Amino acid sequence: MTVTDRQSARPDSIDAPGVGSAGPTTTNGATVPRSATRPTSRLRSASQVEVHNGAASTGPSAAPRSRGAWHEGDPVGRRSFVDIGGLDLERGGRLSQVRIAYETWGTLNAARDNVILVEHALTGDSHVSGEAEPGHPSPGWWNSLIGTGRPVDPDDWFVVASNVLGGCQGSTGPSSLAADGRPWGSRFPYVTVRDQVAAEVALLDALGLDRIAAVVGGSMGGMRALEWAVTHPQRVDRCLVLASTAYATADQIAWCQPQLLAIRHDPDYAGGDYYGTGRSPEVGLGLARRIAHITYRTETELSDRFGREAQLGEDPLRDGDRGRFAVESYLDHHAGKLARRFDANSYVRLTEAMNSHDVGRDRGGVTAALARVSADCTVVSVDTDRLYPPRLSDELHAALPTSTRAHITSAFGHDGFLIEEDQVGAIIRDALAR
C-alpha cells in the first residue's frame, strides 16, 4: 500500500522524523498517525507503506482527459493519496491497482478513538470543508459541518473523508489511467456500494485507523455509512444516516434510468470511451442532472420560487427562437455547473452503484442484516423528501438494534440534509454526545 502526501509535487520519497514512534506527524494540514506515513522500501506489500509528496505520475502527461475530472499532474489541493493495491469486487472481477484520494481535519488522539468518517453523496468528493482553491474548483460541500465551534470540531475529532471508488476526484475511476496508460473508460468494472466500502476499509487500514467513533453520510453517503455498520460492526461506534435507505427502491431506480439513458444516448458518449476524442457527453450529463435535481427539491419550492415567471430578458411564449421560463434557466445552470466539475462515466458508475444498494443481499434479508449492527445509530429524514421518503427511515429505525429517530423540517426536499444547517448540526451534536 502506498500513501501519498499532498504537500509537494515532487515524486521522490521522503523520510519522516521519528519513524517508529507511536506519536503523530503532520500531513495534509492535519495530524495523522506516523504509522500511516512511515517510509519503507519500494516493495508494494500490505505490510509496507511508501510515502510520496504529491501525486506520482502513472502515465504520460498527454493522456486523454475529462474536463470534469481531476487528473494526475493537476493541483492536488488538500488531497492526499493511498494506493491500496488490488481489490476483488463483489460481483466478480478485480481492480489490480486502486488509489484512494482523501482529506483530513483535526488531530488523532493518543487512544486513536476520535475518528469520524464522512461519506459524500453522488456528486460530492473528499473536499467536505474548505475554500475553493487550485485543485478544488468548488468550496466544501458541507462547510457547516467541520470547523472550530461547528458540530464536528477538529479540536476534538480527527475527520477523514475520501473520494469514493469509481469517482473522478482523485480516486480510481473510469477517467483514471489503467495499467496500459489509457483511461479505463468503458473497461471500468461494475462496482457496488460494498466494493466502495471495502476500498474505504483498506484506506483506513493503511492509515492505521482501526476504530471509527462515527461514520456520517447523507443520500449515497448514507448508504455507505450503513454498509460500514453492517459489514464491520466491531469497528463502528456510531452511525449517522441522513436522507437515505437500507435498500434502493423501485422508485429510486426508476428515476435513475432516464438519467443513465440520457448519458448513454449522447452521441459524444462513444460507449464510455470519449476520452481523447475532443468531445464529451455534456449534453447527456446535463440532462441527467436536470432530472436528478428535480427529485432533490419539492414542487412547492419550485412553485414559490419561480412560478410561471420568464427568465429575465427572455420570452418563453414566443414562436421560433423561444425563450425560457425561469425554472428552466435554473435547471440549465445546475446542468452546466455539474458538467464543469464531474465526469459522465463516474456519474454512470456511481448511479449504478446506488442502484446496487441492498444491505440484505446475500445476508438473509434487510432485517437480518441490520440485526448485526452494534453501533449507536441516528436515522434522519427530511419531511418533504420525495426521493428518500421518511417511511424508509422509519423502516430502518425500526429494524436497528439501537437507534435514535430524528427529523428535518424543510421546504427543500432531499437537499434539506445539506441546506438545513442548524437542524442538521443539532442532530449531529446530539449523536456525538451520546
Q: Look up 219 and say whether it is catalytic.
A: yes
Q: What are phi and psi of 222, to 5 degrees?
A: -65, -35
- Is residue 160 within 8 A of residue 104, CB to CB? The reply is yes
- Is residue 275 within 8 A of residue 65, CB to CB? The reply is yes
Question: What distances in angstroms separate CA 38 from CA 34, 41, 70, 97, one per listed residue?
Answer: 6, 10, 27, 20
Q: What are phi and psi of 429, to 5 degrees?
A: -60, -45
The active-site residue out of 195, 385, 393, 415 is: 385
Q: Look up 385 and say whether it is catalytic.
A: yes
Paired residues of 88 in beta bridges:
94
193: Cα within 13 Å, side-chain hemisphere: 30
The active-site residue out of 162, 176, 219, 244 is: 219
Q: Look up 414 and say whether it is catalytic.
A: yes
**Rg of the chain over CA atoms, in angstroms?**
21
Please give the Cα distance from 345 to 410 (Å, whole number).
32
- 26: region left, alpha or beta (phi > 0 left; psi from -120 to 50 alpha): beta
Contacts for 111 with CB less than 8 Å, ≥ 6 apart: none
Helix 326-339 to helix 299-306 angle, to the nearest 10 degrees?
A: 110
The active-site residue out of 71, 127, 357, 414 is: 414
Q: Beta strands of 191-259 (E only): which ranges?
A: 214-218, 238-242
- Is residue 414 within 8 A of residue 226, CB to CB? The reply is no
Catalytic residues, which ones?
A: 219, 385, 414
